[in-house]
Amino acid sequence: NVGGPETESTLRKALAIGADEAIRVNMPATDGFSVAKQLEKVANDGNYDLIIAGRESIDYNGGMVPGMLASLIGANFVNNCIGLELEGDTVTAVREIDGGKETVKTSLPLVVGGQKGLVEESDLRIPNMRGIMMARKKPLAVLEPVESDNKTSVASFEKPAPKGAVKLVDADNVDELINLLHNEAKVI
């Protein structure tokens, strides 16, 4: 995880439902490339064979981080993954594509961009009290960020304009409807 202390509760939940350890790089997730650079260091230090990431995250719904990470660490990459089977070093992955599904074979090391369907809903778990208590004893490493050139910066950020209020007009009140359409909506 790349983020501030506010993300630790999410990592603790992952530990509570079965993760062995968690790692947080202590910096805000500003853009996809800077996140991928931070995860590159973690991945190389950990010597992981399989990294599963979400399809989209707090990288502004770009879905870019898993692909960039795979490129940075020299791993194979499968995106939009909804099924995964490992047999030795061979991985069979099912990807969702426009108009259907595609089955691909690749080898480890692999970065997977998963999406809904990769984990069956029946396998989703909510932490129980025992898991929550045990998660407090599991390691959550906090690493300082590595130097990285930010490729982008946020020049501005604007929230969308609030939607207008809905006005209900009685079906019998035609005069009011005409007035609203003419004076407020300016469509007639």
pLDDT digits (tens, 9 = 90+) for 83-134: 999 999 999 999 999 989 999 999 999 999 988 878 776 666 788 888 888 8
Instruction: Give the long-range contacts of residues 126-135, CB within 8 A, separation 24 or more.
Output: 126/17, 127/13, 127/16, 127/17, 128/16, 131/15, 131/16, 131/17, 131/18, 132/12, 132/16, 134/15, 134/16, 135/12, 135/13, 135/15, 135/16
Q: Which amino acid is at 117?
A: G
Q: How many CB atoms lie within 10 A of CB 79?
A: 19
In whole angstroms, what is the distance from residue 59 CA to residue 146 CA?
18
Res. 59: pLDDT tops 60: no
CATH code at 2-149: 3.40.50.620
For the ranges 112-116, 148-152, 161-165, the maximum mean pLDDT occurs at 112-116
Res. 58: pLDDT tops 70: no
Q: How confident is the model at residue 56 (pLDDT cuts 50, 70, 90)?
A: low
pLDDT value for 157: 79
pLDDT value for 99: 87
Q: What is the mean pLDDT of the chain?
A: 88
Segments making up each domain of the chain, as ranges: 2-149
Q: How confident is the model at residue 62 (pLDDT cuts 50, 70, 90)?
A: confident
